[in-house]
Each structure stands twice: as C-alpha cells, then as structure tokens.
Structure 1
Amino acid sequence: MSECGETIYSTEIGMAFLEKELDAVHHPVSHLRHTRIAIRRLNDFINGEYSLIAPKDNPVPDCYAKYFHSYLENLRLQGLRKSSIKGHYYSCLKILCAFYSVQIYDLSRIKPQDIYDVFTGSNDKINISASLRSFLRYLFKSGILACDYSVFVPSVRKCQPVPSVYTKDETNLLLSSIDTTQNAGKRNYAIILLALRLGIRSGDIVNLKISDIDFQSDVVEFIQGKTHVAQRMEFLPELKGAIHTYLSEGRPDTEHPNLFISTRPPFRAITVMAVTSLIIRCMKKSGISIG
C-alpha cells in the first residue's frame, strides 16, 4: 500500500494487489492461493460477510439413522473404496430425506410407488438409481423389507465419460460448453481436460492432491488406484493454465489437500459419481450423443 501512496485499505486496493500477484509468474501456486484467501477474507470482513462457522451437513432423520449407518458399515465390510462409500453416503442421504418429506417414517412400509416417486423427483438419476438400488437390496437382505424392491428402481443408461471415439470437434464442443466464468466451471474444465488430454480415470482424478502437481516440471505424479502403479505424466500449457486458473481463481478458501473439492462448505473432495454427472451434463449441453 505504501508503494502506491495509500494508507487505508479498501476492497479495490486488495483486488488490485491480488491481480498484480497473479501476473507475477515467478510466484508458486501455494503463495497465490494463500494470497487469494487472505484478500477474500479481509474483503469479507470489511463487508460484514465473514463467518468463522461453516454450515453443517444436513443430518439423516433420526428414524432412519440406525439403518443408514449400518448400511454404510456394510459397504465398508464389502471393501468399497472410501470415495465410493462417500458417494453412496450423500445419495442415500438425499433418498432418505425424500422419503421423510412424504411422511414415510418406517422403512419397512415402503411401497414400489414410493420408490418410483423418489426416483422421478431426483435431478441426479444416475447416482440416485445406483444408491437407491443398493440401499433397498441391503434393507431386503437385513430383513427390514419383505421383498427385494431394488428391482423396481428404473435403470439409467450410463456412458463412458469422454470416450476416445469422439472427434476433435466434439471434444472442443464439450470444453466450450463449460461456463468458466463460474468457480465450478473452472474446476470442471480442469477435470475434463485431465480426462481428455492425459486419459486419467475419474477415480484417480478425484483422489489427486495439490501436492501431486509440479508446476516447475510441468508434471502430475500419483499412484493409480486400479493398478497401484506410480504414474508420472507431463502436461501441456493448456492443461497447466486450466489447473493454475482453478487453483488461483476458482478453488474455495480451504486447506483441504485434495485438488478438486466441492464449491460449497463444508468443503470436501468430489466423488467419482460427481465427475461422471458433470461430464454427462456437459455432453448433453454441447449436443454430443451419449449413446
């Protein structure tokens, strides 16, 4: 401030300083991220918007809590990955809240029509269908339901995210469909570029840590989840720029170690289901055939 002849801080001065720091290519990403966090929090404090208390997750209704937690434990015993269990956690929570909203407080009294209503009322049918089917199958095997109602859950056709059979023009359409003026768009653009340019699987993308990115050497290093083999991949300026933009402009103010996280607090790593859903949404928006 003193260099600019200013003695009183304002949001304009803060944003001007941040812009100057972003233009300084010699700064490491961690420095830029911490600078952005400091400026944003200071501006929020001045505007009376800063809060030390992060919003909490919506709790599972008490009448379902026992079954919900035993279901998650069953998934752990089956050996599901943490990221998969996390996806089922949030989808199943939505399902139970939907049942609760229509006054179904006893899961043993669920009817096929209730299942269909929950499914049709969801805006995330791919993830909901998988978790709903899994949860209903668990209720049947646990003796809570007399019949296996998982067969009543409609099937949703899935696609292989960003298949290699698509042309260069189609992949360009896919990328151009993303609104990179929004924080979520900056994140999604970087995710899809990683899948397109490096062929990284969604399971590995969601587990990437910030520390896996080496901007000095222009490489990303990680242990592949499926093979447990160490991977070292070089990335071109396009991908480097997308990740840098996400980290410096789009990533929330949090010290979470994962590279890609949710856009709203409480901040957490995104799931494979979330990546699949965002890719499908972008494909539909760009007019690319999913089948």
Structure 2
Amino acid sequence: MDAGDLAPLVTEFARHLTGLGHASLTVSGYDAAARHLAQWLTLAKIAVADIDDGVTDRFARHRCRCPGIRREKGVSEKYVRRVRWFVEFLGERGIVQRKPKLASPTLDRRVVEFQDWLRQHRGVTELTIDRHGRMVMRLLPALGIRPRSWNAQLIRNVIIAETKRVSLAYVKTMTMALRGFLRFLSARGLCRAGLDQAVPIIPQWRLSSLPRYIGSSDVEVLIATCDQTTATGVRDRAILLLLARLGLRAGDILSLRLTDIDWQQATLSVRGKGRRETRLPLPQDAGDAVLAYLDQARPHVVDGRIFFMSNAPIRPLTRSSAVSDVVRCAIRKAGITTPSNGANLLRHSAATAMLRGGATLDTVGAVLRHRSPDMTAHYAKVDVTMLLQIAQPWPGDA
C-alpha cells in the first residue's frame, strides 16, 4: 500500500517499534496497519492534522475496499489498536493533536508535605507513599479542613464509619496512614498532640495462622519447570532460585541492580523495608542462574536494573504481581496443589526448610531480614519434628 506523505513517518514508526524490542513479524503488522490508515486518509480526503478519535472510529467502521486489502468486512479490533498506536506515535511527534490526559486528583498541600516527610525520613517505598496519600485524602472530607479542630471522638467516628464501607483489612491499612498523618501534623503544631492514640485499633490476631509453604522437593520441581532454551525460562529460573534460596520478597527482585552483586565475594546486597541494606551470601546455583540470564537473555540496555519483562516493549519489572506471576506459572506447570501461589510462598518455604535443616531462629531471621523475632518464631509452628519433642501427653490418655 502507498502511505503517501506519511511514508517517512511510517518507516520511523517501524524503526521505533524495532528499538523497543518487538519481533519483526509484529513490526510488519503495525507497519501494514499504519500504511492502511495512510491510504484510507487519502481516499477519504482527510488531512493528517485532522486525525482524532472520531477519525479513527470512522476508519474502524469503514467497509474496506482499499487497494491491497482483501477484507470486505470492517477491520478487526486488534487492527484498530495498531492504528491507534500509530496515531499516538504521530501525536508524540506533534503531527496530530494529542488527546489531553486526565488530570491527577489534586492532593491537599498538607498531604503532599506528609508524603515528602515519608519519603525523606521514613524510608518507605513510593507505592506506600502514594497509598498513604490517597487514604488520607479519602478521610479528609469527613474530618474537615481544619486539623486544629479535630478531636478523639471525630477520629473514632470517621474510622468506624469506614468499617461499614470497606473490608477490615483495608481499614487497618487506612488507620496506619492516618496515625502517621496525625503524628506528622502534631510535630508541626497543626493539630492536638496525641490524636494518633485516638485512632481505633482494628482487631487482628497477628501470626495466628500457619505459614503457607511447600516442601523442598516441590520447590525443586517448580524450578525444573523453567524452559532454559527460551529467554523467559532463563529469566524465570533465576527469579525462582533467588526467591527459594534466599527468601527474597517480590519487591527485592524488582529493585535488584547490577551493582548489587559482588561476584568476587559471591554476595548479594538487598535493600528491604526501611531502606535497610543487607548483604546475603549468593548460593552457587542461584548465582549461576543470574549469570546465565545476564549473558543469554537480558536485553542490552543502559538501565542498571537486572530483571526485565520478556515481551516488548523493553522495560524493567516494576510490579510485584509480575514476580508472583512467575511463581504462579511454575506452580501451574508443575501441577502442584499449594496453599498460596504468590512470591511469598517460596519465602515461607525457604524459612521452613532452613529451620528443619537445623538453622536457629536467629539465623533464619537474619536471612529473611525480620525486624522482630516474633516474625521468625512464626515458622516454628510447622517444625513438627522439634514440636514433637516438647509436646505433652493429652490429659486422660492411657
């Protein structure tokens, strides 16, 4: 098809997609869609500068008789998505007018300052900072705009009202955000001191359940499901081994950088909650798997982060759910029935295996980077061999 005056931009669009890591077959599909749009614009006598959502909708509905196209029916939805991507590309280059983005919700000035305070002094992640800001903003209409007028009764009433609208787990997180906000305001003399003590405690029996884990043999089965002949399989095997051998969190995987690995000392530097940096020994198999990924499968990019998405466009893993998806996929391939299917399953399994292998609670806590020994003691519940040694006879047994 003849792209006419848009031909140079179509060629640039194809080069752009190739640079993002898309396969040649994918690029050719987008190239064809862009050329089709260009030819249809010429036949419909529509100027390129006039392209908007209405024009792309017309393109999607037209009964295609464009030269070089065999379709007699309307173009497919997938085809239209490709066209819209090309139009977005034109907008980025100022060829067509871009649709204005929806403005982000405006945050209260004090909430913005609270977020800055969390960022500078509390060492929490950007995800937590954003969540705390949104939760405080949710509560502000009920609390009022003058913090100096807030009192304990008002604080309690607002939280109790929220328990009737959302889950208790959500409210528990909301109370955490509100307590932090009240302490921030109090430190600056913007509200009464001690109001954070008025925030109701949402009942939760901490550490009352058993850890969710799988046995060591099942962990090895999960790791063996990775197809090492593919880039995705090489990456997933490295991720699974780091989770299973070192008990890393999903967030630890996301934040790993090339500079965090000391190959000479065989150690891995991990920055967990509160920006605390811990240097862990890198097991041989996990180190070999990471090295194989860096050598065979990682995209050649300037970005210092280690793990990237396996599908185009090239971008690093940025969400914990992506790491959990790796675990879920391996569980499905292995056909294992598990009590959980997220990344934490392998963290719990690593802790349980270390305890059963004779490691002390202090050692396990150091590897898992627990702040409280109570968190590590939680795993002692599933060490049946040790528990049998201290179990007392049931009263009345003969």
* TM-score for both structures, normalised by structure 2: 0.38
TM-score, normalised by the number of residues in structure 1: 0.49
